[in-house]
């Protein structure tokens, strides 16, 4: 199985307090931010690796995992890290974040999918910076492929994937015929979430995303990493989403101490108006 994984580099959400907005308010100042892969995309990569291996021998790939990111030169670091955990090949579409929106990424990915012809496109359900939750769905629409979003479990079948989606009150199971687009939620990296045809159903993965060991990190330098121009993928680089201004959230106000339960209830009722 050949899988294309879309991977975005985001500002580390644990350091959100370092996000600065210049007085002009026309952009976010990204200087000094720490970057990391979007966690949901890392989960998608982990799922792709699990789908292309026998869980008992995770060093051998059955099929191919190609990772793609949209970003400047520095994002090659993110791609190299993905190669180090097991992806075979990487593609960087050379562009900066401010020139992108979800629709454009989906259009460009469509062109890339037509070139690469993967059986599955896997990606996170959303990126934790913009939280837009659009690209997977838009891409499936553009390709006219089946899709499953918010996947919590994936089981490979002959020519299809059985995808469990967590919904209110239970799990909905979809069978998507390949090729398909699947976006993943965080439970996809639980020990028994993903099974390829090769992996025994008794196998238990370590919880979470696998670690890149040093030999693989070094070897990743030799894996192919191609650069593609955005213009080569889509002639239409227009943006549907335009940002008109940024402002930081209001500083948190100091809390208050309540006297007793009666006081608390009264305030919840009269001031917070939640009761």
Partner 1 sequence: MPLPPPLFENDVHATLRSAARRWARTEIAPFAHAWEEQGEFPRALYESAAAAGVLGIGYPETYGGAGGDLSHVLAAAEEFILEGKSVGVAVGLGSHRIALPPILLVGTEAQKQKFLPPVLRGEQIAALAITEPGGGSDVASLTTRAVREGDHYLVSGAKMFITSGCRADFLVTAVRTGGDGHAGISLLVIEREHGFTVSRKLAKMGWWASDTAEIAFDGCRVPVSNLLGEEHQGFVPIMMNFSVERLLLASNCVAIAELAYRESMAYARERQAFGRSVSGFQVTRHKLADMATRLAAARALTQEVLQRHLRGEMVTGLAAMAKNAATDMCSAVCDQAVQIHGGYGYMREYVVERLFRDARLYPIGGGTREIMNEVISKTEGY
Interface positions with partner 1 (CB under 8 A): 34, 36, 77, 80-81, 84, 206, 208-209, 211-218, 220-221
Nearest residue (CB) to partner 1, 254 versus 261: 254
- Asked whether 79 and 7 are in contact (CB, 8 A), the reply is yes
Q: How far apart are the C-alpha atoms of 5 and 135, rounded to whole Å?
A: 12
Pairing of the two strands 194-195 and 225-229: unpaired
- Asked whether 139 and 109 are in contact (CB, 8 A), the reply is yes
- Asked whether 179 and 118 are in contact (CB, 8 A), the reply is yes
Q: How far is the CB of 223 from partner 1 (least distance, A)?
A: 13
Structure tokens at 168: 């209110």
Q: How far apart are the C-alpha atoms of 34 and 30, rounded to whole Å?
A: 9
Q: How far is the CB of 249 from partner 1 (least distance, A)?
A: 17
Nearest residue (CB) to partner 1, 74 versus 271: 74
How far the first Cα of the chain sits from its last, in Å, is 54
Q: How far is the CB of 76 from partner 1 (least distance, A)?
A: 8
Count of CA atoms in the C-beta half-sphere (13 A) of 254: 2
Q: How far is the CB of 251 from partner 1 (least distance, A)?
A: 12
Nearest residue (CB) to partner 1, 208 versus 238: 208
Nearest residue (CB) to partner 1, 27 versus 221: 221
Residue holding tokens 């949209």? 70
Q: How far is the CB of 25 from partner 1 (least distance, A)?
A: 24
What burial class does residue 5 get, using C-beta atoms within 10 Å of its C-beta: 0-12 exposed, 13-18 middle, 19+ buried? buried
Nearest residue (CB) to partner 1, 84 versus 140: 84
Q: How far apart are the C-alpha atoms of 110 and 248, rounded to whole Å?
A: 35
Q: How far apart are the C-alpha atoms of 156 and 81, rounded to whole Å?
A: 26
* Residue from 239, 228, 225 nearest 97 by CA: 239
Q: How far is the CB of 272 from partner 1 (least distance, A)?
A: 25
Nearest residue (CB) to partner 1, 186 versus 217: 217
Nearest residue (CB) to partner 1, 186 versus 216: 216
Q: How far is the CB of 234 from partner 1 (least distance, A)?
A: 29
């Amino acid at each position: 199985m050949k899988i294309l994984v879309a991977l975005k580099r985001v500002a580390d959400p644990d350091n959100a307090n370092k996000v600065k907005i210049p007085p002009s308010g026309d952009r976010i100042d990204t200087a000094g931010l720490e970057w990391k892969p979007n966690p949901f995309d890392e989960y998608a990569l982990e799922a792709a690796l699990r789908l292309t291996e026998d869980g008992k021998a995770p060093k051998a790939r059955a099929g191919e995992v190609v990772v793609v990111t949209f970003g400047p030169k520095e994002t090659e670091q993110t791609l190299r890290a993905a190669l180090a955990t097991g992806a075979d090949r990487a593609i960087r579409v050379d562009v900066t974040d401010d020139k992108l929106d979800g629709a454009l990424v989906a259009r460009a990915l469509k062109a890339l999918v037509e070139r690469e012809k993967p059986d599955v496109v896997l990606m996170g359900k959303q990126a934790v910076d913009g939280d837009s939750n659009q690209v997977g769905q838009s891409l499936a629409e553009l390709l006219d492929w089946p899709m499953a979003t918010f996947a919590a479990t994936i089981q490979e079948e002959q020519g299809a994937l059985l995808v469990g989606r967590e919904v209110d009150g239970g799990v909905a199971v979809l069978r998507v015929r390949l090729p398909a687009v699947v976006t993943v939620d965080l439970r996809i990296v639980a020990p028994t979430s993903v099974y390829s045809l090769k992996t025994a159903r008794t196998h238990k993965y370590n919880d979470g995303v696998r670690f890149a060991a040093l030999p693989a990190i070094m070897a990743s330098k030799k894996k192919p990493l191609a650069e593609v121009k955005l213009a080569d993928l889509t002639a239409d680089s227009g943006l549907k989403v335009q940002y008109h201004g940024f402002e930081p959230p209001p500083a948190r106000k100091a809390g208050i101490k309540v006297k007793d339960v009666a006081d608390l209830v009264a305030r919840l009722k009269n001031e917070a108006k939640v009761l």
